[in-house]
Amino acid sequence: MNIPLFYTGDYMNISKFVLLGVSVTSMYASTIMLTPEQSISETMIKVRSGDTLSLASGEFKESIIVKDNVVLLGSGVGKTIIRGNGRGSVVTMNGSSVLQNCTVSGGQNGIQTQSERASIRNVEITENRGSGVLSLKAFPEISNCIISYNGGNGIQAATIGGGSLILDSLTIVENGGFGIEWDGSVPVSVMHSLFYKNGLKAFKSKDNQIVASDNVIFPEQKEYVAKNRTMKPEFKNDRDIKSLYIQTESSPGKGCGAVIK
């Protein structure tokens, strides 16, 4: 079959469009669509820098290593589920990889990363035996995520490097250990997040290097109450604690917790 090429006036910028519902390709990047009957890991071997793997709804039963500058894009939290086998990390992220719009469950750890350039957005990380997120060298970007019911810490970071050092709009509830344990030597900012009923405290940090402001913490800890006090909290959903999102007077126009769509 002849595939038409569209001339744009610059032969270095010719693109190819495949209208088969499988991929959209340019000379720079591709979007590859996968169903649960296909293997993410086997496909990952073939992808190139800049590619996106778009995951359909359903359960992918495997552990994955995401290449540098590759996007792993699910169909939504609770819709696309990546489930490990109880050993190792379910998803390991490298370089500027991105994980978005999915649920990660069933591993020793949920997500492991060694890169400050990695991004975890709009992801539920739940029911892993150890930590929800394990950061080994530098903090990735973690935003708008639900981290719940993991056996260890919600986020465990024993890093030697820096990273984004800003954690925003998280819901960290009912993990067995600390909500966040940070063993780095530079400050980490935690904001607009909700902490509830973690097995130990909301935070543990070396030399008080967690700077927390505009969060909701239950039960409140004395050392954080001044910057995180909540006035007249309004529960948007009190039936499922994972979906709690609270509007606060301390941060007008910005509530606390993840907003998962």
Per-10-residue mean pLDDT, the chain, length 261:
33 33 56 97 95 98 97 96 95 96 97 91 96 88 94 86 76 93 84 88 82 79 54 53 68 75 70
Regarding whether 77 and 23 lie in a shared domain, the answer is no
Regarding whether 92 and 12 lie in a shared domain, the answer is no
The answer to whether residue 56 sits within a structural domain is yes
pLDDT, position 92:
97
Name which of 145, 239, 158 is nearest 192 in CA terms.
145
The answer to whether residue 254 sits within a structural domain is no
The answer to whether residue 91 sits within a structural domain is yes
pLDDT, position 27:
54
pLDDT, position 62:
97
Regarding whether 173 and 97 lie in a shared domain, the answer is yes
- The span from the CA of 123 to the CA of 111, in Å, is 10
pLDDT, position 211:
84
pLDDT, position 139:
80
pLDDT, position 147:
96
Regarding whether 92 and 10 lie in a shared domain, the answer is no
Regarding whether 112 and 10 lie in a shared domain, the answer is no
Regarding whether 114 and 24 lie in a shared domain, the answer is no
Regarding whether 82 and 17 lie in a shared domain, the answer is no
Regarding whether 156 and 49 lie in a shared domain, the answer is yes
For 246-251, the CB contacts below 8 A with 24+ separation are 246/194, 246/216, 248/214, 248/216, 250/214, 251/192, 251/214
Instruction: Give the torsion through C-alpha atoms of 165, 219, 239, 231, to 10 deg.
Output: -80
Regarding whether 198 and 174 lie in a shared domain, the answer is yes
pLDDT, position 22:
44
Residue 242's φ and ψ, nearest 5 degrees, are -65, -25
The answer to whether residue 5 sits within a structural domain is yes
pLDDT, position 98:
97
Regarding whether 110 and 68 lie in a shared domain, the answer is yes
Query: Contact, 34 vs 102, CB < 8 A?
Result: no
Regarding whether 124 and 23 lie in a shared domain, the answer is no
The answer to whether residue 260 sits within a structural domain is no
Q: How many domains does the chain have?
A: 2
Residue 1: domain span: 1-31
- The span from the CA of 174 to the CA of 179, in Å, is 8
Regarding whether 183 and 143 lie in a shared domain, the answer is yes
pLDDT, position 260:
81
The answer to whether residue 252 sits within a structural domain is no
